């Protein structure tokens, strides 16, 4: 009876550890991070097996010390990822952890078409803009320095152009998009610490939010040069054309391409006065 209970606990322990490992591997995309995670889990597994051998106490102590040293090193290397994990656990966003975005967070071909058209027109007129597209991070007001003004309006290129007009009161913030709706405007994002001397405020804000949340992307239009950029997972691709932007958005959102003209007929544009984020030292 004792052995039966022991075997059941051991089996449950192994299954839970295996499930946690699968979850971790499914959430890691960057190759180097994946290699580090594999090595660390292999080391932890080795330590677990050695601890079960009571005849190797010295080896067990050495492996435990090595696991502790590696844990501290990874905590320093992955401080951003660990902070994001604690934020998601603290706010109960389990769907984000499991990589299963809610239906209303899934961008459509219409989203890509409207955003691409608006970004192209903003770039031509050199009007600065910053658009955050939530694709599953379930961004909430507490994730921003300032949550902005709630809109909850149907996404359209015309409304985006109005929101980023330089003479309107919301031009000093970002626009937040979820699915095919504009959730808020005038949002103030946390800034990244990387590339402070190279990028302007908008680009640093785009890097900052995508560093903290890997299931969101940012479209940036430089006010000084009209250059288009796309930030994803703390990396910035620039300069890009509007057609390249459409391709990247389609690839990242997993949607299909829809022409802006055909999308316009199915979407009614609500005329709301608004604005766009200001940009300093923008390259």
Specify whether 138 is located in the same domain as 246: yes
Token pair belonging to 164: 């980023």
Residue 84 lies in a domain: no
- Each of the 283 residues of the chain gets a pLDDT tens digit; together they read 455 555 777 788 778 877 777 777 766 666 777 788 888 888 888 888 888 777 778 888 888 888 888 888 888 877 766 776 776 677 666 666 666 555 556 677 888 999 999 999 999 999 999 999 988 777 888 889 999 999 989 999 999 999 998 888 887 889 999 988 999 999 999 888 776 777 888 999 999 999 888 888 999 999 888 999 999 988 899 889 888 998 988 888 765 444 444 334 333 333 333 333 344 444 3
DSSP sequence for 148-205: -EEEEEE--HHHHHHHT-TTSTTTTSEEEEETTEEEEEEEBPPPPSTTTTTS-HHHHH
Domain stops at, among 62, 77, 92:
77
Instruction: Mark whether 124 and 206 lie in a shared domain.
Output: yes
Overall number of domains in the chain:
2
- Quick one: 145 and 71 in the same domain? no
Distance CA 186, CA 169 (A): 8
Distance CA 69, CA 53 (A): 22
Residue 232 and residue 108 in one domain: yes
Interatomic CA distance for residues 144 and 80, integer angstroms? 16
Interatomic CA distance for residues 103 and 242, integer angstroms = 27
What's the confidence (pLDDT) of residue 274? 38
Same domain membership, residue 238 and residue 117:
yes
Task: Answer yes or no: is 273 within a domain.
Answer: no
Q: Do 51 and 166 fall into the same domain?
A: no
Domain membership of residue 271 (yes or no) is no
Please give the Cα distance from 232 to 217 (Å, whole number): 5
Residue 133 lies in a domain: yes
Whether residue 277 is contained in a domain is answered as no
Question: Looking at the structure, do residues 181 and 114 belong to the same domain, yes or no?
Answer: yes
Residue 260 lies inside a defined structural domain of this protein: yes
Task: Give 273's strand partners.
Answer: none
174 and 212 both lie in a single domain: yes
Looking at the domain assignment, is residue 281 inside a domain? no
Same domain, 143 and 216: yes
* Parent domain of 119: 103-266
Residue 47 near residue 63, CB atoms below 8 Å: yes
The CATH number covering residue 217 comes to 3.40.1700.10
**Co-location of 161 and 199 in the same domain:** yes
Q: What is the C-alpha separation between 172 and 48, in angstroms, rounded?
A: 53
Residues 116 and 68 occupy one common structural domain: no
Q: Looking at the domain assignment, is residue 89 inside a domain?
A: no
Q: Are 215 and 256 part of one and the same domain?
A: yes
């Amino acid at each position: 009876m004792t052995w039966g209970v022991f075997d059941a606990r051991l089996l449950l322990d192994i299954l839970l550890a295996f499930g946690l490992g699968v979850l971790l591997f499914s959430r890691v995309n960057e190759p180097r991070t994946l290699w580090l995670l594999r090595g660390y889990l292999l080391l932890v597994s080795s330590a677990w097996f050695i601890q079960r051998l009571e005849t190797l106490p010295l080896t067990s102590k050495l492996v435990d010390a090595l696991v502790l040293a590696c844990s501290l090193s990874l905590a320093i290397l992955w401080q951003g990822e660990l902070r994001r994990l604690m934020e998601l656990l603290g706010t109960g966003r389990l769907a984000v952890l499991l990589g299963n975005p809610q239906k209303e967070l899934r961008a459509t071909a219409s989203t890509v078409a409207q955003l691409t058209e608006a970004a192209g027109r903003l770039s031509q007129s050199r009007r600065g803009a910053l658009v955050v597209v939530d694709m599953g991070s379930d961004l909430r007001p507490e994730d921003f320095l300032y949550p902005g003004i709630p809109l909850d309006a149907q996404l359209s290129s015309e409304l985006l152009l109005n929101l980023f007009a330089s003479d309107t009161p919301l031009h000093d913030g970002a626009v937040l998009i979820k699915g095919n709706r504009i959730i808020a405007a005038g949002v103030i994002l946390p800034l990244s610490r990387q590339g402070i001397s190279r990028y302007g405020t908008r680009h640093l804000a785009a890097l900052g939010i995508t560093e903290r949340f890997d299931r969101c992307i940012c479209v940036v239009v430089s006010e000084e040069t009209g250059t288009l950029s796309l930030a994803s997972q703390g990396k910035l691709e620039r300069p890009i054309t509007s057609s390249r932007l459409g391709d990247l958005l389609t690839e990242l959102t997993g949607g299909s391409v829809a022409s802006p003209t055909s999308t316009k007929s199915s979407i009614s544009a609500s005329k709301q006065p608004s604005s766009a984020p200001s940009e300093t030292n923008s390259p």
